[in-house]
Amino acid sequence: MITANMMEEHFVFHEADSRGRADHGWLKSRHTFSFAQYYNPERMHFGVLRVLNDDHILGGTGFGTHPHDNMEIVSIPLEGALKHKDSMGNTAIIAEGDIQVMSAGTGIQHSEFNNDQNADCRFLQIWIFPNKKNVQPRYDQLTLKKEERLNQWQQILSPNPDDAGVWIHQDAWFHLTNLDSSKVLNYNLKKAGNGVYFFVLSGEVVVNGKVLKSRDGLGAWNQDQFVVESSHDAELLVMEVPLTI
């Protein structure tokens, strides 16, 4: 959550080890923002970015059927694969290298299970508040081309159905990049007034002078351009989102 005392610095830093933690045996999760049993009034959301969960699911286990409504739900597998089934009639496997999106809208039910009985699965679960409520639920997934993010921005999500990546009901843009050591990229804001949340998947980067290590997060605003430099080989997810819900 952006609070008045943060406005002077125009950023909020979330160190990896400061995230909420859940251990259910079959599921181990780290929560950047308040979720389930983890509650931190200073970490409710970053603009419309409501949930950023770093999930680790044991082989042969998963989430049973459960409901969602009026939320844009994005899943990015980082290792292994998930088997998805929902009330819209979709049954699919989403694997490392894919991105999945659901617009829950008026209401859906779905389940997610590790598709492998013996190997673990790791994925990011991301929830975004939509800019339209009670829309017709929808599902989409896409296999990303990893070579398209080498030392450059690969757009994986946007508000535009005709643009690169999947789309959601929100003025948000997600990008991935895999950076060789000592590479520099500039990220230019897509929409005035948005904020940007940087989440390091691996390695180490410097964003506008701030050092971010693996699984660290940095939310920043009141800037139109951000300079990203890799201290080592690194993988980075960048989420540009509106700051007003």
Q: Domain count for the chain, please give it.
A: 1
Q: How many CB atoms lie within 10 A of CB 203?
A: 19
Distance between CA 136 and CA 180 in Å, rounded?
42
For residue 3, pLDDT over 90 is answered with: no
Q: What is the mean pLDDT of residues 216-235?
A: 96
pLDDT at 7 over 70: no
Q: In one letter, which amino acid is 112?
A: E
Q: For the domain that residue 194 is a member of, what is the CATH number?
A: 2.60.120.10
Please name the residue that has the structure tokens 């598709």: 115
User: What pLDDT does residue 5 have?
Assistant: 38
For the stretch 140-172, pLDDT in tens is 999 999 999 999 999 999 999 999 999 999 999
**Looking at the DSSP assignment, which residues form a beta bridge with residue 175?**
155, 238
Burial 139-157 (b: 16+ CB within 10 A, else e): bebbebeeeebeeebbbbb
Determine if the pTM surpasses 0.85: yes
When the pLDDT of each residue in the chain is averaged and rounded to a whole number, the result is: 95
How confident is the model over 223-243, as a mean pLDDT?
A: 97
pLDDT in tens, 99-146: 999 999 999 999 999 999 999 999 999 999 999 999 999 999 999 999
| DSSP tally for the chain: helices H, then strands E | 0, 22
pLDDT, tens digit (0-9, with 9 covering 90-100), for 78-104 = 999 999 999 999 999 999 999 999 999
pLDDT band, residue 6 (cuts 50/70/90): very low
Residue 1 is predicted with a pLDDT of: 44
pLDDT of 189: 98
User: Domain range spanning residue 29?
Assistant: 4-241
The pLDDT-based confidence of 9 (bands split at 50, 70, 90) is: low
**What is the average pLDDT across 8-14?**
83
